[in-house]
Amino acid sequence: MNEYDIIIIGAGPGGLTAGIYAGRQGTRNLIIDRDLAGGLGREVPEMENYPGFDNISGLELIEKMKAQATRNCDLREMEEVTEITKTDDEYRFTVKTTKDTYRSKTIILATGSSHRRLEAKGEDEFKGKGVSYCATCDGFFFAGRDIIMVGGGNSALQEALYLKNLGANVTVVHRRDEFRAQKHLQNQIKEAEIPTILNATVEEIKGEMLVESVILKDTQTGELTELPTNGVFVSVGYIPHTELAKQLDIDLDESGHIIIDKKQKTNVDYVYAIGDVCVGLKQWVVACGEGAVAATSAFEDLKS
């Protein structure tokens, strides 16, 4: 059985950073991810607010971080953790995956989140047929075509700008009367002359084989209108992955995120949490900082 000082579950920006710090502390560490390293970070088309880079894609930055992390710890990709149980010996946790079983003295949960759905009629039917949750993955196919981006946060406006640069005719649809995104992104949307439809929700996605139109509902009047479109890109928030946290009886807040203290500790001894699965600001640089704090906290607790 494989034994480690720290097992990090999730290889997003926070998990990779935790691996870098943990390895440099001289402990034996493992990162496990059910997908490829990077998670949703791989989908970020470009960032202009990550320190040290004027502009860099999420995929490029993830590859740099992955290379650095694997020099400091083990990494298992495409291996899902199915169960974590507590034990009574030095290795306090048994971690079962789809491929193996491991033991660890401490656990860092960096399980991230997944895209929140619109819950609109036709959304499931047209997923992959015009409905997408990843501009980086699917934007290329919509050059020269009419599409809508649904959402009003940073990710939605970043992806709208990316789609515009690919040559798509993009319109942003948002359910509120103003965007939640940073001001500079709102200014870029205006400068790019990207049309916006505010106070509107997508009620239905229609078409034959592929998406052909959406039914929009005015949130103020209730009026329904049909808007022709070839694609619907969705960025309306994220759902935290807390299945493993629930197995360990970790406290969650009312929104379903893990509650942590300033040292990234949960209410369960020797279990820490970082990134999008936690309460707090959902930013790449924040997840990295939390990864450094959690790895340091785990190391200090191992010595005590």
* Residues labelled catalytic: 134, 137-138
Closest CA to 280 of 295, 301, 294, 297: 294
* CA 48 distance to own-chain centroid: 18
At residue 65, what are phi and psi to the nearest 5 degrees?
-65, -40
HSE of 39, CA atoms in CB hemisphere, 13 A: 27
Find out whether 58 and 158 touch, Cβ atoms under 8 Å. Answer: no
128 three-state secondary structure: coil
The three-point CA angle 84-41-143 to 5° equals 140
DSSP-assigned letter for residue 36:
S
Q: Where are the beta strands (DSSP E) in 120-270?
A: 131-132, 146-150, 169-173, 196-197, 200-207, 211-218, 224-228, 231-234, 238-240
Rounded to whole angstroms, what are the CA distances from 259 to 252, 269, 274, 291, 294?
5, 13, 10, 15, 14
Match 């139109």 to its residue by tokens. Answer: 213
